[in-house]
Structure 1
Amino acid sequence: METARWATLIAATVTMGLVSGLFYGFAVAVMPGLRRTGDLTVIEVMQRINTAILNGWFLLGYLGAFLFTGVALALHIPSDGRDVLPALVGAQLCCGASMAITGRVNIPLNNALQEAGPAALIGDPAAVRTAFEGPWVRANIWRALLSTAAVGFLAWSLYLEGVAS
């Protein structure tokens, strides 16, 4: 049981770190870089990214972060390591909130961008960009903050688990 607790904590921390890094990268590099480009470029690049990101490696990290954190939490409920539980609950809540933002804001915006059609054929690319970019960037910043907080909670859980051993 101890090995399973450690393994799930490590898997949760790694996968959450990957997701947090992805959102952070968009917040500090991708979107600021695109902000300096034309409307058609933003639309085309984001359409391509939204298609490319839907792959098994992304899903492993994204879904794995939530699932591994949940399993780690479940494995610690019957344990003597009750000090770890608040940090794991915090991680799960932050991860869940980040996923909720993704589902309620980012994915619908991504879908609307795809439905706008090929960038070169969009009649008013400035309007499409305006409807997408600001709300998407704000939501992504929240996702980056929440997933980073989750990594912090998971790192604290690893520390507490080590102290309790």
Structure 2
Amino acid sequence: MELLHLIALIAALLSSGLMAGLFTGYSYSVMPGIAILDDRNWVAALQHINRVIINGRFMSGFLGSIAFSLAAVVLGIFLDDRAALPWTIAGLVLNLVGFIGTIAKNVPLNDKLEAAGDVAALADPTALRTEVEATWIKWNHVRGIANLLALAALALALYTAGTAA
């Protein structure tokens, strides 16, 4: 296996693992933890989390899972290192599911929460929470599972590439 392909696979694996951990962590701790909050405080908590999560550490894992998976696929094709290619493609597709789910579902819900403005001035925080919570949680589960499966696929790709070398 070429060194560059190995580096791309490891980087894809690590960034996918970061996203799998983050999204599943929300599923089993953050969302159940804030579920006890009243509606106004629940909205405030999500607004604050959504503001602070957009940072370099998050974006490097979020975008890196796609970029490194794509790089590993391309390198696998062009370096004629195809033993791991089916698993690498599976990892890329699964990372795309998590990425697209985030962009298409979770981000618009985050934007809706942010657009509500100051929670102290919200006329009906219960309606906003009812509109957002169940869908946000469902799609968070989807992206968490997708990234976990991407992590597994990329681990198999790395193993397959190593044993084929």
* Shorter-normalised TM range: over 0.9
Q: Determine if the alignment matches structure 1 residue 109 to structure 2 residue 109.
A: yes
Q: Determine if the alignment matches structure 1 residue 63 to structure 2 residue 63.
A: yes
How is 1:5-154 mapped onto 2 (pairs within 5 angstroms)? 5-154=5-154
Runs (4+) off by over 2 Å: 78-81
CA displacement 1:5-30 (0-9 Å, x = unmatched): 11111111001100110000000000
Q: Aligned partners of 2:4 and 2:81: how far apart in 1?
A: 14
Shift of 1:94: 0.6
Q: Is the 8 A contact 2:5 2:75 kept in 1?
A: yes
Q: Which runs of 5+ in 2 are unaligned?
A: none
CA displacement 1:71-130 (0-9 Å, x = unmatched): 011000133432211101101111111111111110000000000111111110100111
CA displacement 1:29-54 (0-9 Å, x = unmatched): 00011112211121111100100011
SS at match of 2:54: coil
Q: Which runs of 5+ in 1 are unaligned?
A: none
Q: Aligned partners of 1:85 and 1:117: how far apart in 2?
A: 47
Give the superposed CA RMSD: 1.1
Q: Percent identity?
A: 36
SS at match of 2:37: coil
Q: Aligned partners of 2:106 and 2:78: how far apart in 1?
A: 36
Q: Is the 8 A contact 2:23 2:141 kept in 1?
A: yes
Q: Is the 8 A contact 2:2 2:79 kept in 1?
A: no
Q: Aligned partners of 2:80 and 2:99: how far apart in 1?
A: 30
